Amino acid sequence: MIDFTRSSAVGLLICLILGAAACGQAVPWNHPDQTTHWYEVVSAPAGTSWDAAQVVANRRNGHLVTITSAAENAHVFQLASAPALWTPGGHGPWIGSVRRDESGPHWTWVNGETPTYENWAPNSSLDISPEARGQFARIGGAPSPSWRANHASDERVYAYVVEWDDSAWDHTVGLMFNKPGSYDGYTTISAQTGTTYLIDNDGRTVHSWSSQYTSGLSAYVLDNGDLIRSVRSAGTTWSGLFVGGTTGKIERVAWDSTVLWDIEINSDKYLLHHDIEPLPNGNVLAIAFEKKTAADAIAHGRDPGLLSQDELWPEVILEIQPTGPTAGEVVWKWHVWDHVIQDLDPSKPNYGVVSEHPELVDLNHYGGAQPVADWLHFNSIDWNPTLDQIVVSSRTFDEIWIIDHSTSTAEASSHAGGNTGRGGDLLYRWGNPATYGRGTAANHQLFGQHNPEWVPPGYPGAGNITVFNNGTGRPGYPRSTIEEITPPLDAAGRYSLGLGNVWGPATTTSSFGTPFPTDLFSPFISGTQRLPNGNDLICEGMTGTVLEVTPTGEIVWRYVNPVAGQVVLNQGDAIPICNAAFLCNNMFRARRYELTHPAFANRTLIPGLPIEQYPPHVLARVGNVNTASNGPADVLFVNGDAGDVWRQVYADAANWISMSIEAPPGGPAAAHYAVFMHLGTPGSATMQSLPFGLGTSSIPMPSLTNPTPAPIASSIPIPGLGSSTLPLTPPAPITFLGLIPAGTYTFQGVMHDFGTSGSIASLTNAVVLTVY
């Protein structure tokens, strides 16, 4: 059993007295929208910029505070007025007011809303620059509830205020929300622990595949229910050079995690990395580094000054046919080394004018601050069965490339052959025409991108390509976007050049970014997938956040990976910040499958517990059963006395559950109104759950004197009640009970004197009073 809990009343009182920053807890307040909002002043003694503060707030499922009334402003200022939260220069904590661009609204809230209330200090300079941020102001040498506009984008202050609505504040991992309009299916969550989870739209695990290897990169569910994925083998570095995304192995496991195929390609010649693409014939496309010595590279025309690591690792694409449990045959391959051009050494056969050959790759182009061995850094691969073409992503070139897969290996090494007659030359490239000498900053559109893939036939936008545009090196504020492009494809499967002899499109078909840009930003990994209903499933890899977005830009599903490194987090835990070992919850990619996918045919997927952990928590308990001196009741109030109370409860198949909820105060002095709820019948697939939204209406209850379950031979210990237990009969599996909102409830039940010895045992033989 699991529940989400609020801070205790005592803890809230301390926060109200000392200020949220003093105790590190969020403080509730009755918002004008008729719900409870939660506010926390986060102290940052080393200083933090507005943008960094908003990134952290968003990562915690909140946002910098948006103030909509004088009363709310007074409440927030009370929390944020402690002198230690203000800089010596008088700058107060950040709030969520932002001015982004002179062409748009002058000031908005970070969530995109237009202000209906403002409290700028007198003589505030609001419009002297196109970019500014809001914070509390010091007036007359003292902290003030007025605001000031800060026009220095890198200004660092000592605190900021985070706000959550009532449904979000105490969730840090797992499912954040699932709104109408979300596409119902099963989503893979590939953790660094080596386990790949399959969850439903409510964030509950319906299946998982385990591995002896760490994974965390690409994983695909096959039609028969097998899982094929990239996994890390030992020694995935070359010459002591670390490169993110190296794997070295491909593993295929059955539905029960039995290893069916385990192949290692990690030699002095090739090293698998990042992504794979399973093909319908059972073969697998894989991307790999191909090692070239400095002498090899120079002989091919590489500038010696661009070999800072004394090696070069061009890319190769391998099609591998499994031939045994640990073996495979390469039946097709493509080497970029066969399709390069250079304008440095006229004596080489690949010498030419780069701008005259966009179908070839400039051997001496590089992205980044300095040239490294990982010259191209492919990070994904996809295959189009209709065209028999491959698309890959070169992160360092800021481009996606399309290659003909219909060629033979011999044709793939040449400039002729295949369906298009172009051999292994690039059929199309998009994102940064400067790489082939025809671009400017104006048509540089991709920045460190990941995961281009074709939209499948029958889906909205079929034939288009979607890509996660990470935004690494993008001018302006760091931000990621999702791009959809319509390639200029003719009937013969060729791609026509556009204006300026640059491959189009000049503009994207669609582009998604969050209202405040840094709310979606991942400088590495990440991905996007078009769903059958036209929504996009987006993985913000750095934060392990998965979003589902409608075509109109509404976020209808949000989930945060609850596995950090090798640790499964508890609900409410702070998510570790990525360190050198990446012991955080970053995630390469997520993928959603239809409920009717062939992998799930003839399989019963029973929703279980979420991935995240929930330490046992007593919802309702009375001292020791059957003793003469029962202590005072420690029960769950749902009448609002302790503030808004929400409980989300999970159970597994090992528990027969009954719940005791204390009735509103005002009953007889020596008694409490208590109710026991039986939630199912052993062997029955239909479980009885608590009705919600009934206010003060009566809730019919099953009989307590003649309970349905028959006692079993032995007693099952009940945590928290010692060995004096009652017989227990587990029911059919029950996985989700729901939410109990605050309110006054009247139950059909019994009036029971908690001080009377033994009376509880006479009422029911179900689990008594304690729910975990």
The domains located in the chain, with CATH, are 9-164 (3.10.100.10), 174-600 (2.120.10.30), 616-772 (no CATH)
| Separation between Cα atoms, residue 297 and residue 363, nearest integer Å | 9
- Contact call for residues 314 and 362 (beta carbons, < 8 A): no
Q: Would you state the pLDDT for residue 656?
A: 29
Q: What is the pLDDT of residue 99?
A: 86
Per-residue pLDDT reduced to its tens digit, 302-321: 999 999 999 999 999 999 99
Do 516 and 499 form a contact (C-beta atoms < 8 A)?
no
Computed from CA positions of residues 358, 364, 367, 373, in that sequence, does the dihedral angle turn out positive or negative? positive
Q: Are strands 672-674 and 750-752 parallel, antiparallel or unpaired?
A: antiparallel
**Is residue 297 predicted with pLDDT exceeding 50?**
yes
The model's pTM is 0.75
**Is residue 618 predicted with pLDDT exceeding 70?**
no
Q: Which of 43-57, 87-101, 611-625 has the lowest mean pLDDT?
A: 611-625
Q: What pLDDT does residue 208 have?
A: 96
Buried b (16+ CB within 10 A) or exposed e, 470-507: bbbebeeebbbbbbbbbbebeeebebeeeeeebbbeee
Res. 702 pLDDT band, cuts 50 70 90: very low
Between CA 434 and CA 368 the distance in angstroms is: 14
The region of weakest confidence among 26-40, 72-86, 147-161, 372-386 is 26-40
How far is 356 from 147, CA to CA, in rounded Å? Answer: 57
pLDDT-above-70 percentage for the chain: 73
Return the structure tokens found at 664: 């509103």
pLDDT at residue number 105: 53
Structure tokens, 739: 């939410």
Q: For residue 639, what are the contacts with CB-CB under 8 A and spacing of at least 6?
A: 664, 665, 742, 743, 744, 745
Q: How confident is the model at residue 168 (pLDDT cuts 50, 70, 90)?
A: low
Place 492 in a pLDDT band, splitting at 50, 70 and 90.
confident
User: What's the gap between Cα 766 and its chain centre?
Assistant: 40
Residue 772's nearest CA partner among 695, 667, 659 is 659
pLDDT tens, 725-753?
Answer: 222 233 322 222 222 333 222 222 222 22
Residue 661: pLDDT above 80?
no
Q: What is the CA radius of gyration of the chain?
A: 30
Residue identified by tokens 């292994």 is 424
Residue whose structure tokens are 């929400």 = 646
In the three-class reduction of DSSP (H, G, I as helix; E, B as strand; rest coil), residue 378 is classed as strand
Residues with Cβ < 8 Å from 34, sequence gap 6 or more? Answer: none
Backbone angles phi and psi of 280, in degrees to 5 = -60, -25
Least confident of 97-101, 202-206, 229-233, 380-384: 97-101
Rounded-to-integer distance, Cα 503 and Cα 495, Å: 8
Give the E-state strand segments of 121-247 in sequence order: 132-139, 142-150, 157-164, 174-178, 185-190, 196-199, 205-209, 219-221, 227-232
How many residues in the chain? 772
Alpha-carbon distance of 617 to 624, in angstroms, equals: 17
How would you classify the pairing of strands 750-752 and 738-739?
A: unpaired
What is the rounded CA–CA span in Å between residue 429 and residue 398? 10
